[in-house]
Structure 1
């Protein structure tokens, strides 16, 4: 039985996601879908528009059979660790046969050879990245340049290819290609038997701020439409009816929409009350950014997260890097808990957010095949990573438009969603 794995955020689930899910099942000839989904905070460091429970429900309506949560320790990380954590979860199920991801390339022909080369030279690659960062480049640009240098100077000292290096750099400057490369590297480093597949991203780019076609728009564009005068009605052409219904229900109940500004009060409390030394102890506060934060705070005209990020942003420090840094400060994530040595160990559990009738059968199979504990109720399991997930969920619920005690402590009681 083929089971295809997807690594997703669904913020919110839209028509492009529906296309990807259907194509993944077709390409893998799969009878079931397992989705590893970020929780309430996402890879770019931003909060999801609605909770992980609502988004997991969208996934079930779309045809996913089992939804697992990507722990916050991996969900809000650069591509390398995001991919490592998600691939490790799929591998740990013992039932996933394929991993299908979206990419601009739409083929593994260029990505797979590059992944094989880069997965085996971690030390050299990290040194090259450090050299690129020293020039003032952002991390994504530094990684693309360092990877291109590895192609130009292959292991063993053979002749490099300038054309190959240029092609590699162009390939990796596209965000879905870059993330897909990290999925491939993660599978190779894990020694996983999961077979990779890719689907060409259609209709809209990952960061496109406006709709790209009559029916497909990026999640970024859809959130922009929802935030505008047209609200959900403006986004309706780009999302399935069940997504619209779930979003409308969550908004009516005061559980959304959630944005970075929903966290302005607690975030600024931490920034204003913390010393530079205390700020420096948080994950992603690097290279003296604690000094820059303290310098910029008095210069703000308004205490908004948006203005703070704009003040802090430079060529070196991207919006995404700064958002993740602010998230780790908000959630008080220390450097030790998020150190590479800790992340390399992989997640310690499989947290189930939702399952279908077929997903129930997958869980039965996983009891014999899974290499990690299966968690269906957080209160019944203890793990440092799960504690971070619960804390993140509570902080998220505390920032909802209508504060509700049952939502703040929902993670302790909530069984997996079923439909």
Structure 2
């Protein structure tokens, strides 16, 4: 029995996700699937539109056998740590044989050799990233430009740049056809610097690259696969007559009160409608306006400066800008803070760390490099019971179905994040605020 791993947010689950899920099962030939899913807050620093239990139900109705939670310690981090935490969880299950992710390129032929090269974290790469950050570039721009530069230097030196079938794969074993699966599979062709920057401008390419880097650093035997992204791009608006749209566009439509019919499978739509009718969503940053304003009004610059991603004078800018806003909105605050160096995503993550009181030391690279401390089960189908039984023998981390029976600092942060999220519901109940303790895993 083979199992394919999928890393997702399903925010919300739409037709593009269904296509990816089906292709992941087809490409891998797997009979079972495990989804690692973000909890109440997402990698771009936003509250999920609906709760993690709701999105777990959507995933199970789609056909996923088991859904596990990516701890908030990793879920709200830049791509490197988001990918590392998620891949480490799949590796820790001991049952996952392949990982399938979406990409703009639809091919591993260029991503694999690049991952081999960048996994070394060469001193020139890190030095160039620091230099560009000091010049005011955002981290994504600095990373892609630095990677392109050191890659070009390697080409100029005549160093190794390609991985083809039969060469060393991401885990150090011999790479077979599966390592090069997806559209455009085959031997790699060297990229020049500009080609690499173009490749990494695709957000799914960039995130997929970090999955491959994480596999290599973990010495994992999980085989990577990729599926070409279909339909609208990440920032593209809705297209008339299309059935696949980006989750970003769909969340925008939700905020405007529009219907997502035609863009989501019926089971996903029905679950979404139920949550809307019961006042449990959709949520966005403005749902957290009051608690965020309270925190920004009662903390000193020194207190803010001790939190993750608050630095380089941002604490002082925050305390200066908030009183200047005629009407406080999170969108208005983000617009006032945004600059060439600080992207909206980077600033949103900073606000999340303020909202959730995430300290620098607790979420430092040294702490994150230790990996997740447990496997938290959010839900499963009847077919997932077989996976759970197998994981009890194979998993290298504790498998948690009842959080009350486990004690771990990362889990404490997960429970706090869930309570903070539910507090933004229209009329939060005890069962919402403490659902992690009071409700069993979702079963379909």
TM-score, structure 1 length as denominator? 0.97
Counterparts of 1:90-105 in structure 2, within 5 Å, are 90-105=90-105
1:32 aligned partner = 32
| Secondary structure at 2:5 match in 1 | strand
- The change in CA–CA distance for 1:160 and 1:61 in structure 2 (over 3 A counts) is closer
What residue is the counterpart of 1:260 in the other structure?
A: 285
**Counterparts in 2 of 1:88 and 1:253: CA distance versus 1, 3 Å:** same
1:245 matches 2:275: no
Residue 269 of structure 1, CA deviation: 0.7
Unpaired segments of 5 or more residues in structure 2? 162-189
State the Cα RMSD in Å.
1.6
> 334, 339, 343: which one pairs with 2:368?
343
Distance 1:159 1:352 in 2: 44
CA distance in 2, matches of 1:218, 1:183: 21
Equivalent-residue separation in structure 1 for 2:435 and 2:203 (angstroms): 34
Which of the residues 196, 211, 221 maps onto 2:224?
A: 196
In terms of mean alpha carbon deviation, does 327-336 or 154-163 score higher? 154-163
Q: How does 1:101-250 map to 2 (within 5 A)?
A: 101-154=101-154, 157-158=157-158, 164-211=192-239, 214-229=242-257, 231=258, 234-250=259-275
Give the 3 Å change call, closer, same or farther, for CA 274–189 of structure 1 in structure 2.
same
* Aligned position for 1:356: 381
- Residue 198 of structure 1 aligns to a residue in which SS? strand
Helix, strand or coil at the partner of 1:30: coil
Aligned length: 416
Give the conservation status (yes or no) of the 8 Å contact 1:104–1:200.
yes
Indicate the residue corresponding to 1:15 in structure 2: 15
The aligned counterpart of 1:376 is 401
Which of 338-347 and 404-413 deviates more? Answer: 404-413
Deviations 1:220-261 (A, max 9, x none): 1111222224x3xx2111000011110111111111111111
Q: 1:8 to 1:212 in 2, by over 3 A?
A: farther
Higher mean alpha-carbon deviation, 213-222 vs 18-27, is at 213-222
2:390 is paired with a residue of what secondary structure?
helix
CA contact 1:56–1:417 (8 Å) conserved in 2: yes
Match of 2:413 in 1: 388
Distance 2:355 2:50 in 1: 18
Normalising by structure 2, what TM-score? 0.91
Matched, 1:283 2:311: no
**Contact 1:284 1:324 (C-alpha < 8 Å) held by counterparts:** yes
SS in 1 for 2:124: helix
Residue 332 of structure 1 corresponds to which residue in structure 2? 357
> Relative to structure 1, is the Cα distance of residues 17 and 213 closer, same or farther in structure 2, using a 3 angstrom cutoff?
farther
Secondary structure of the corresponding residue to residue 261 of structure 2: helix
Distance 1:277 1:228, change over 3 A: same
Deviation of 1:154 after TM superposition, in Å, equals 2.1
Distance 1:196 1:174 in 2: 18
1:79 aligns with 2:79: yes
CA change 1:11–1:64 in 2 (3 A) is: same
- Mapping for residues 280-319 of structure 1, pairs under 5 Å: 280-319=305-344
Provide Cα deviations, 1:100-148, integer angstroms capped at 9, x if missing partner. 0000000000100000000012543222211111221111111100110
Question: Aligned in 2, Cα 1:390/1:155: closer, same or farther, shift over 3 Å?
Answer: farther
Match of 1:59 in 2: 59
Residues 129/51 of structure 1: CA separation in 2 closer, same or farther (3 Å cut): same
Structure 1 residue 380, shift from structure 2 partner:
0.9
- Unmatched 5+ stretches in structure 1: none
Alpha carbons 1:13, 1:239 under 8 Å: kept:
yes
8 Å contact kept, 1:2–1:97: yes
Q: Distance in 1 between matches of 2:115 and 2:98?
A: 17
- Compared CA separation, residues 360 and 122, structure 1 to 2 (3 A): farther
1:3 lines up with 2:3 in the alignment:
yes
**Residue 156 of structure 1, CA deviation:** 10
